[in-house]
Structure formats: C-alpha cells, structure tokens
Amino acid sequence: MKINWVSPLPPAKTDIANYTVRLIPALKKQFEVTLLTDQNQHDKSLDDSAKIQHFHPEKLNWQTLNRSAVTLYNFGNNGAFHKQIYQLSQMHSGIVILHDYNLHHFFESYFRQQPEGDYLYLKHLKYYYGEEGESMGRQLIRQEITIDEIAQKIPFSRLALENASGIITHNEAIVEYLAERTHAPVLYTPLPYLSQVTELKEPTQAASQGADKVLRLIIFGYIGGPNRRLESVIQAIGTHPLKHQIQLDICGKIDYDFDVKQVAKQYELNQQVKYHGFVSFDKLDHLLNAADIAVSLRYPTNGEASGSLLRIWANQTAAMVTCAGWFANQPEDCVLFVDPDDEVASIHRHFNHFFESDQNPYTEIAEKGRQHLQKTHTTEQFSQNLSEFIPEVLKYQSQSYLNGYSRRLGGKITDLSNDPFTQNYLAERSSSLLHKSLI
C-alpha cells in the first residue's frame, strides 16, 4: 500500500522531524512510503531511506497525492514548521497526526500574519467559539491577556480537523474530546520512539557521594516559551539551601524573551547554570547519561506527548515532569511528578530526597522508565496500528464522498418540481437509491 507522509525533516529543529526519521524503517516494512516536505533542504542521508518529494501548496503534484491510498499530515503548534502542511491538508483530505491538541499559538500566528490578519483571527474565533471567543481575541489584540491565557480556554484544534478523514493522537486523554468534534475515525496509539530490536546502551550514571555530593540536572529541547518552566527551575535551584551543589545543563534553543545568564546571576548561579544551545544527539545523550534528573516540565501544556521524555527514559535517567496533560497519565513509578500549583516546593522535595539519601534514590524510577519505554513505545506497534486503521479511514472517505455526491444529486433532482413535499421525497429517494447502488 502506498502512503504519503507529510512532515518536517532534519535538519528542522523540531522533534517531529526526528519522530519521522525514527519511524521510517518500521513504516517501510508495511507500506511504500513517499515523504513530502516543504523544506528547501533536508538531510541527504534520508535519500537512501525513502522517496522524498518537495511540495508547495501552489504547485502540487496531484499524481503523487492521488496515487497513494492515504496521505498523513504531521501537525504541531509551531507555524515555522507546519504552515504549509496545514494548507495542504485543507486541499487534500488525509489522516492528521495531531502532535499538539492545543493549536492556538499556531492559528493565532497563521491568521494574524496575513493581510487583514486581526479580522481573520476574530472571524474564526467567533465562528468556532461564539461571542466569548471573539471577545477574548480582542483582549489579546489589545494586549490585555496573554496568548497562554486564551489558549487554555480556546485550543483551536477543530480547525485542523476540518478536512481530516482520520485523526491519530498519542494522548489517550483527548480521544473523547476529538471524537466529539469530528465524524472521522480517531486512533490512539502510544508515541513511538524505538524499534523492538534497538539495543540501548547501559547507563553510566555515578552520583557523587558524601556531604558534598552534586545533583546534576538537565533541560533540553525546543524551549519556546515560559510554559517550559525554565525560570521556575532556576528559581528552585537558587532558593535551595544546597544550591551550590546543584548543576544545570540547558541544551536547545530558548526562543522567547528570557536571559538565562541574567536570571542565573540573580540567584548567584553563574558557575552552575550552563547554556549549551543546540548540541548533537551524541553530546545530548552523553549529558543525559551523566545527569541525575532530567527536567521536562510543561505548564500550561498543549496536550502534547513528549519525545523528550522518551529520550530521557532511553538513557535511563530519572525524569521530572509536570503532573498535567499527557504527562499526568504516565506511570507513577516511572517519573517524578511536580505539582503545577506548588511548583518550586515540589521541586525542592525531590532535591531534598536526593541529598538526604546515601545513594541516588531515583535509580529505580529511571530503570522502570526505560522498561516502560521498551514495552509501550515501539515503532513497530505504531506501524501495525496504522495498517489496521487505514481501512477504517478509507471506508469513511468513500462514505463521505457518497454522502456529499448524493446530496448534490438530490438537490439537482428537486429542480424538477416546485412542490416542497415532492422535492423532499425526490431528494431523499434519489440519494438513498444512489447510495445503495454504489456500496
């Protein structure tokens, strides 16, 4: 079976690109895969892995799109990577892989960057969320509320579902939410990360001992806003009585107005907080392997499943996560939960437990995290679930087409009579006969 897979590709600085690379081998065992990307450049090593075609919504290769059984759209909340993917999804129906269920940041940027952008933004808010939505949009434009505040009440995800013939989510908690907002079939499948045959390296963490032992932390990934809670983590370190025995490595891009050096200086942490920027996967894994706790906080959450957490587990490092959204549904013996309503105090409790213990008290949690990863988050399971889901999607597609065609035909037939009763009878009868004859 042929499928089109529309996604960012490396070197794009988004984990959805890495997600696609991890999945290619398993997908190729089940399907004939064509990767579609809007990027001008991609990692050339991928050319040996799959057929790659570039697309632009104004210059589409309809033969490629139509010759495949189905097209899958990887859709996230960053306009830099998903604008043209969204545009293509509205022109050609397919399966939407919803990496974030809260898409307000994407659509706010998408509409407001266009001519008459504020008008378009408010128009869609009113259409989908009524006068309350429009009112909140006006407050945002007047800078009376933040985008995070409006996003918590108005996720805007319904726009991404408009033309979908199927939806895939990696967050089981939102399946019901999605099913209530679309007639298309919805599939939950765990976020895939590694192959069943992947051999993971043995961890080498060796926590320092004694009264002067050091707690090593790491935060990594795309840090696109305050919801990654970087400031809270630095505050927690800076207000802890043993702050000079805590080190923090920060890897990735900080893409908002936040001065790490200034905040670290405020808490006298210049020597302990180190910002690396983007690093290679080898260096990232080395730093993860050396860390005692990897911090992956999200609040407010966009409903996303986290590839970062899976990388932490793969390195058998203890993971500290916010007890909210997808993270809240992770096994309690696999993560260290942080209460979003009592953030710094929660972080301090985990710090205290570490310093009060002779050995690293989080070794077992790290081990169980890796075991959960190997059992639940395999690429083969995703590919198998997808192969079983596609027939359901194709059935829905054909049913939707027939329903639409029969309604249009029924409308034409009613032109044969001016009598309302006869018009209704003819429309219903013709639609029913056509539908039965074609299925």
CATH T-level assignment (fold) for domain 215-376 = Rossmann fold (3.40.50)
All structural domains of the chain with their residue ranges: 2-188, 215-376, 380-438
Angle between helix 104-112 and 79-91 (nearest 10): 80
Domains 2-188 and 215-376 share a fold: yes
CA atoms within 13 A of residue 125's CA, in its CB half-sphere: 26
Band of pLDDT at residue 286, cut at 50, 70 and 90: very high
57 alpha-carbon distance from chain centroid: 23
29 alpha-carbon distance from chain centroid: 24
The amino acid occupying position 399 is Q
Q: Contact at 8 Å (CB) between 306 and 326?
A: yes
DSSP 184: S
How far separated are the first and last CA of the chain, in Å rounded?
22
Rounded distance, CA 83 to CA 76, Å?
10
Q: What is the mean pLDDT of the chain?
A: 90
Cβ contacts of residue 251 below 8 Å, gap of 6+? 218, 219, 220, 221, 276, 277, 278, 279, 283, 284, 287
Nearest CA to 270 out of 295, 238, 224 is that of 238
Q: Options 3.40.50, 2.40.50, 2.40.10, 3.30.230; which CATH number does 2-188 get?
A: 3.40.50
Per-residue pLDDT at 415 = 55
Band of pLDDT at residue 94, cut at 50, 70 and 90: very high
List phi, psi (to 5°) of 266: -60, -35
Band of pLDDT at residue 303, cut at 50, 70 and 90: confident
β-sheet bridge partners, residue 409 = none
Q: pLDDT for 313-351, tens place per residue?
A: 999 999 999 999 999 999 999 999 999 999 999 999 999
CA quadruple 124, 174, 96, 226: dihedral, nearest 10: 70
Q: pLDDT for 391-433, tens place per residue?
A: 999 999 988 766 655 555 555 555 555 555 555 555 555 555 5
Dihedral sign for Cα atoms in the order 138, 143, 149, 152: positive
Per-residue pLDDT at 207 = 55
Instruction: Return the residue matching tokens 């549904």.
Output: 329
